[in-house]
Structure 1
Amino acid sequence: MMKKYFIGVDVGTSSVRATVVNETGECCGSSSQPIMIWNPTTDFYQQSSVNIWEGVSYTVQKAVSESQVLPENIKGIGFDATCSMVVLGEDFQPISVSLDGDQNQNVIMWMDHRAKEEVEVINATRHRVLNSVGGTMSLEMQPPKLMWLKKNLSETWKEAKHFFDLPDFLSWKATGNLSRGMCSVVCKWSYSVDSQPKIGWDKDFFKRIDLEDLTHDNCSKIGEHVQAPGCALGPGLSKQAAAELGLLPGTAVGTSLIDAHAGALGCLGCCPSDLKDLPNMDKCLVMIAGTSTCHIICSNQCIPVPGVWGPFLSAVVPDMWAMEGGQSSAGSLLDFVTSSHPAFTDVQRKASERGLHAFQYLNERIKKLADKQGVHAAHLTKDFHLWPDFHGNRAPIGDPNLKGMICGLSLSATEDDLALLYLATIQALAYGTRHIVSEMEKHGHEISLVYVCGGLRKNSSYVQTHADVLGRPLVLPDAKDPVLLGAAMLGAQAYMNKSSLKDVMCAMGGGGKCIQPDFSVSKFHEKKYAVFLEMWKNQQKYRDMMV
């Protein structure tokens, strides 16, 4: 019997990755390729859809070559990507989103914060569509970016014929099918699947924010048709896309997901062998921890949480309500606070000489400091506190204007000081996660288990600290990359067509390792979490004092 294989493609913040997996989710080949980012001025982050698709073509061909799987045995492909916005004009040509008019730069990235004034206008409307984003729209979503484009780049607005979320652009590029993925339009574009007055685009909302022209021609510029995750897109790969990817025309293509949501899909089918009783799926939180961190839970019930995005029906798992919290800066915050420290150059050199990542070296340094002082490593930051929202707060506060805070600095700038700053940052990120979890549970969610995927799952201090702070077991899936696995599941679902996506998840999810919390530091973290919340109150107080 001929074996079947599936491809998952992930377009992250700074790279494109592809993998080939078999029917049980085992990785058979993978590849990655960096992509370009332009940061012309503060808060502006732009990319090129041409550069991104070139990366997709390269990585798919390389992954297939490494896997030694014949194209005829590859039955499906799925895409995920960051929730960035792609702008195309006549004949689907790139249209500039850059102030300098560079046509190549036609993607406004998810982390672009140029639309601060526009998001304030949207939130001031208190429109009903805000009910599905915790009451406050983020400037990382697409409506404020669309407003900014219309206001500041009139020629771009006039010439634009299609606005895609990046995952949907990839699906269109692969198939020529203009339908949009439910995940993208519901989570980032204000499309409604459950609220009044009806399912679909809320024309009154677009009228209120002066984007009524997007509703013309049956909303053709932003998507007339919407499909659930994994639904087969038309006849599959087009001849042109198949040639560019090195695959066969007609290969099934599944409706796409946002990258974090693909990570949730890849994790929730994982069954760790060292955990006797696996809780129901709706009691499992998934942390997709990379440049930023997303916290996703899929519930059987509609349970809104102020400050947390959702609930979104069937945006990830069919007939389940997805909620999404998040931290705008996580891995990028750790990179920033460490690389900007005077001792980092020496630390990086020493780590490189031993073949280690700088964070691995710092983890070792923390252990040595703790052993020397005869304390648990967590206690090293007793007098060192940090508020992590250097790039604003996504959830549960929903304030893009919040800033970072550090308490406990001295005139010393040694390697040990860097280690403490690094540890305090990890703890602060864990307290931010606890803040989100606390709000979820306060409003009716129950969380018994936490899955972790993304780049930060490789950081032992990050993982153990989160387990200790949350007081819950953390699961690290065996899958090499659950985000890519989730994308491949979309391709498998498209090929199988009538099978349940949940069945696909369970068949391909694999096993995992369970990390148990250390309850000996629970009281310490309780105290530091109280300080953490007090820092937020103080920042509000200082802001009010300066009015």
Structure 2
Amino acid sequence: MSRFNSYNSLQRLNSLNFNQQNRFYIGVDVGTGSARACIIDSTGAILSICEKPIIREELKPNYITQSSSEIWSAVCYCVNSITRDSQIDPNSILGIGFDATCSLTVLNLENDSPVAVGPNFSNNNQNIILWMDHRAELETNEINSTDFTGLKYVGGKMSIEMEIPKIKWLKNNFPNNSTFKNCNFMDLPDFLVYKATGINSRSYCSTVCKQGLLPKGVDNSVDGWNKEFLLKINLSELVENDFKCLGGSTNKTGIFYSAGETVGPLSEKAAEELGLTTNCLVASGVIDCYSGWIGTIAAKTDLVIPTLEKQNHDPSLNNSMDKAIGRLAAVAGTSTCHVVMSKDSIFVPGVWGPYRDIMAPNYWLAEGGQSCTGALLAHILNTHPAYGELSKLADASGISKFDYLNSVLERLKLERNERSVVSLAKHLFLYGDYHGNRSPIADPNMRAAIIGQSMDSSIEDLSITYFAACEFIAQQTRQIVEAMTKAGHQISSIFMSGGQCRNGLLMRLLADCVGLPIVIPRYIDAAVVFGSAILGAVAAEDHTGLKKVPSRKPRVSTLSDRPGAVSPYTAPSATASVTNISAMAPLTFIGQEGGFPFPIMTPMAEKNEFDFSTEGNSSTDTNTNTNTNTNTNTNAYNNEHASSLKFNRPSKLNLSSAPLNSADKLWTVMERLSGVGRVVLPGSVDDPDRKLLNVKYKVFLDLANKQREYRKMVDEVESQNKL
């Protein structure tokens, strides 16, 4: 189905007239192990969320596959579930957005049937090569041995986890070449949009970040795909019929979108499977970490951050994507991705990108990362002799292991008469690149090192080692930020997301090591799927404009002035500006009682004005057991209101070009829906803890440099020994 075939479907929406207060949007996030969906209202409040596991198959080491059929089935299950549980009339759901892992999906060009991707090619149902699949080592090395200029936009060389190496492996290993020539190769987010609309489009996010496409004008690119490069690496089939196997060229037959641009309405088949209607518009999707960027960096803040205040009050930046420049999104989980936007192309050694147009036309994004952060903390805990004792004590206390370790650190500070928690680990130096280094060293051979470790196997030793691991994460974040800043980025703040946000000690260390404010979003665990829902809301702008949500007045304060604080690193007040989980008011589902399945920040109430000027009252302001944004009257979302929809798209539809001001449109919706985030401010430059952390940063850098120096010395002598 071409882009233009959707015109009649879109025109039908003109006869609908939607009430502006009854508009809802769905976000879908497909991760490595599960699919999730959430539904939000026009204030950005999440009304329901559902998650369903998905299987990955590994018949041989490093050969990891999934099924697009199973994934779509899981997506349909989740979307049907959230619509049912929230009791929202499907006619009122106007937009849907998708994000997913950057995994290669292979379909038959003629009939869209799944094509087996190996290793034995006997199961067509297994038609996705997962991002973490490392089968294409030989192909990756061959690609990186070329002088293709486009490689400079992916850090100088393609990663084994990108998709052109995987496609080249398929050509080398398919039972016959006719199968390869008849394949439709697409990234998983683009597949989901294709399933939803029937329109064979591509996102700049997927094709630029993971497949080597250069948008028109970048390095004199015309077609997007580089013919000479593909021929040089023996992939001539991808060039045929104007790059049909890759979705076409940007100059002629292809359909390419930046994030959130409207691809079209749900097809009748997809609408039936999802339990929605063809009134729902589908946004162009993104890779999952970029959805985390969308779901975090537009948050307002409960404390004043001067650099952000200057942006927010600059009339020239009103409703402009330029406000996003300098806000670094850190999407944290097992690993952490660091995403930052710029107006110009900025090349950073060891950082992927810059990528143009992937989020908005004519804007560039760069992506750094740490290969293991959450995994590092888990490894430090799991391998310590005191882990079993920790599990029992934390369970008995009814708190998380990290909160228990934080309390042990606070006790040790008093017992040992240390100046602060930071000084407890002053002579322990932990370098934590257990799984190689992605940024900024970009060396997969980097490994961990610990200096100052004793034979102590107590829980006290575990707590200090855990602190050192947190310190490493923070110091390496500083290293990445400094590399980006040296190259030309002007970073003003870090917007975090993921479960690590709950750890007040880690957030304080990040702020003090990097010397920047840390902003924690409205939704901690749901930032990525929330970002996809924002994409759905952007697409739904073609129905009608969003209702403006009143902004909060920032409260001038610091973390240290909160009553009852014991330590800025370990006491509950360490996360008072982030989230107090035990005091978090449960969000009531529409038409039913019960708590939300994960901690969230309370949605912004619909009032004329918000006054945060009173000191020390943040728990009262943010944890009130009310939800004025959520209409608990189920009858409010019936067909009577849905029949009042109005479609505001221009009468002459031109789907061949990006919507007018699409960048600013995306930013405006992000600002309206993101709500208020909590801030952790760094200590003053004269703070003793920051002085100590600055000295230890020098040790951190030396550990990284010495490791490579030592390896080089050993490799040189070993090469001589082999002669």
TM-score, structure 1 as length reference: 0.93
Q: How far apart, in 2, do the equivalents of 1:458 and 1:38 lie? A: 32
Q: How far apart, in 2, do the equivalents of 1:114 and 1:243 lie? A: 38
**Corresponding residue of 2:201:** 179
What are the superposed Cα offsets for residues 444-474 of structure 1, whole Å, 9 maximum, x if unpaired?
A: 1111111111222222222221111101111
Moved over 6 A (4+): none
* 1:73 counterpart = 2:92: yes
User: Which of 219, 222, 229 is equivalent to 1:205?
Assistant: 229
Q: How far apart, in 2, do the equivalents of 1:356 and 1:266 lie? A: 28
* 1:96 counterpart = 2:116: yes
What are the superposed Cα offsets for residues 357-381 of structure 1, whole Å, 9 maximum, x if unpaired?
A: 3333333333333333224222333
Q: 1:417 to 1:45 in 2, by over 3 A?
A: farther
Structure 1 residue 98: deviation in Å? 4.1
User: Which of 502, 519, 522 is equivalent to 2:667?
Assistant: 502
What are the superposed Cα offsets for residues 168-208 of structure 1, whole Å, 9 maximum, x if unpaired?
A: 11111211221111111111110001422324011222222
Structure 1 residue 44: deviation in Å? 4.2
User: Which of 671, 676, 694 is equivalent to 1:526?
Assistant: 694
Q: How far apart, in 2, do the equivalents of 1:405 and 1:109 lie? A: 31
User: Which of 702, 705, 708 is equivalent to 1:540?
Assistant: 708
Residue type of the alignment partner of 1:95: V
SS in 1 for 2:339: strand
Does the CA contact (< 8 Å) of 1:95 and 1:156 recur in 2?
Answer: no
Q: How far apart, in 1, do the equivalents of 2:124 and 2:699 lie? A: 48
Q: How far apart, in 1, do the equivalents of 2:266 and 2:144 lie? A: 40
Q: 1:138 to 1:197 in 2, by over 3 A?
A: same
SS in 1 for 2:159: coil
Structure 1 residue 164: deviation in Å? 1.7
Q: 1:144 to 1:247 in 2, by over 3 A?
A: same
SS in 1 for 2:495: strand
* 1:49 counterpart = 2:68: yes
* 1:305 counterpart = 2:305: no
* 1:227 counterpart = 2:257: yes
Structure 1 residue 93: deviation in Å? 3.0
Residue type of the alignment partner of 2:355: F
SS in 1 for 2:296: helix
Task: Tell which deviates more after alignment, 467-476 or 340-349.
Answer: 340-349
Residue type of the alignment partner of 2:47: C
Q: 1:117 to 1:345 in 2, by over 3 A?
A: farther
Does the CA contact (< 8 Å) of 1:150 and 1:157 recur in 2?
Answer: no
Does the CA contact (< 8 Å) of 1:301 and 1:320 recur in 2?
Answer: yes
Q: 1:244 to 1:348 in 2, by over 3 A?
A: farther
**Corresponding residue of 1:350:** 393
SS in 2 for 1:513: strand
* 1:403 counterpart = 2:447: yes
Q: 1:158 to 1:408 in 2, by over 3 A?
A: farther
Aligned residues: 546
**Corresponding residue of 1:329:** 372
Superposed counterparts of 1:108-187, under 5 Å: 108-154=129-175, 158-159=179-180, 161-187=183-209
**Corresponding residue of 2:285:** 256
Does the CA contact (< 8 Å) of 2:153 and 2:355 recur in 1?
Answer: yes
Task: Tell which deviates more after alignment, 101-110 or 180-189.
Answer: 101-110
What are the superposed Cα offsets for residues 202-258 of structure 1, whole Å, 9 maximum, x if unpaired?
A: 122222222222222222222222211112123x21222222211113410000011
Q: How far apart, in 1, do the equivalents of 2:679 and 2:111 lie? A: 51
Does the CA contact (< 8 Å) of 1:367 and 1:377 recur in 2?
Answer: yes
Q: How far apart, in 2, do the equivalents of 1:353 and 1:324 lie? A: 41
Q: 1:359 to 1:223 in 2, by over 3 A?
A: farther
Q: How far apart, in 2, do the equivalents of 1:381 and 1:276 lie? A: 30
SS in 1 for 2:285: strand
Q: How far apart, in 2, do the equivalents of 1:170 and 1:314 lie? A: 20
**Corresponding residue of 2:589:** none
Q: Which ranges in structure 2 are unaligned for 5 or more consecutive residues?
A: 1-18, 249-253, 312-322, 543-658
Q: How far apart, in 2, do the equivalents of 1:333 and 1:39 lie? A: 24
**Corresponding residue of 2:32:** 13
Q: 1:495 to 1:535 in 2, by over 3 A?
A: same
| Alpha-carbon RMSD | 2.3
Structure 1 residue 321: deviation in Å? 1.3
What are the superposed Cα offsets for residues 33-89 of structure 1, whole Å, 9 maximum, x if unpaired?
A: 222234555544433323322221122122222222110110000001111222233
Q: How far apart, in 1, do the equivalents of 2:476 and 2:166 lie? A: 26
Residue type of the alignment partner of 2:379: F
**Corresponding residue of 1:466:** 510
Task: Tell which deviates more after alignment, 470-479 or 514-523.
Answer: 514-523
User: Which of 678, 688, 696 is equivalent to 1:513?
Assistant: 678
Task: Tell which deviates more after alignment, 31-40 or 445-454.
Answer: 31-40
Residue type of the alignment partner of 2:288: D
What are the superposed Cα offsets for residues 80-103 of structure 1, whole Å, 9 maximum, x if unpaired?
A: 111122223363333333435444
Task: Tell which deviates more after alignment, 525-534 or 333-342.
Answer: 333-342
Residue type of the alignment partner of 2:702: E
Q: How far apart, in 1, do the equivalents of 2:129 and 2:414 lie? A: 47
* 1:432 counterpart = 2:476: yes
Task: Tell which deviates more after alignment, 189-198 or 111-120.
Answer: 111-120
* 1:392 counterpart = 2:416: no
Residue type of the alignment partner of 1:99: P
Task: Tell which deviates more after alignment, 95-104 or 215-224.
Answer: 95-104
**Corresponding residue of 1:421:** 465
User: Which of 472, 484, 492 is equivalent to 2:537?
Assistant: 492
User: Which of 83, 94, 110 is equivalent to 1:64?
Assistant: 83
What are the superposed Cα offsets for residues 363-415 of structure 1, whole Å, 9 maximum, x if unpaired?
A: 33333333332242223332333333323222222223333333333333332
Residue type of the alignment partner of 1:116: E
Does the CA contact (< 8 Å) of 1:175 and 1:241 recur in 2?
Answer: yes
Q: How far apart, in 1, do the equivalents of 2:409 and 2:126 lie? A: 43
Q: 1:37 to 1:304 in 2, by over 3 A?
A: same
* 1:32 counterpart = 2:61: no
User: Which of 519, 528, 533 is equivalent to 1:483?
Assistant: 528
Does the CA contact (< 8 Å) of 2:91 and 2:279 recur in 1?
Answer: no
Residue type of the alignment partner of 2:675: G
**Corresponding residue of 1:378:** 422
What are the superposed Cα offsets for residues 113-163 of structure 1, whole Å, 9 maximum, x if unpaired?
A: 333333333232232011212323222222222233333455599356122
Does the CA contact (< 8 Å) of 1:452 and 1:475 recur in 2?
Answer: yes
Q: How far apart, in 2, do the equivalents of 1:91 and 1:323 lie? A: 37
Structure 1 residue 289: deviation in Å? 0.8
Say which one has the larger Rg. 2
Q: Percent identity?
A: 38
Does the CA contact (< 8 Å) of 1:99 and 1:153 recur in 2?
Answer: no
Residue type of the alignment partner of 1:178: N
Structure 1 residue 25: deviation in Å? 1.2
Structure 1 residue 503: deviation in Å? 1.4
Structure 1 residue 276: deviation in Å? 5.1
Task: Tell which deviates more after alignment, 377-386 or 160-169.
Answer: 377-386
Residue type of the alignment partner of 2:40: V
Q: How far apart, in 2, do the equivalents of 1:477 and 1:86 lie? A: 32
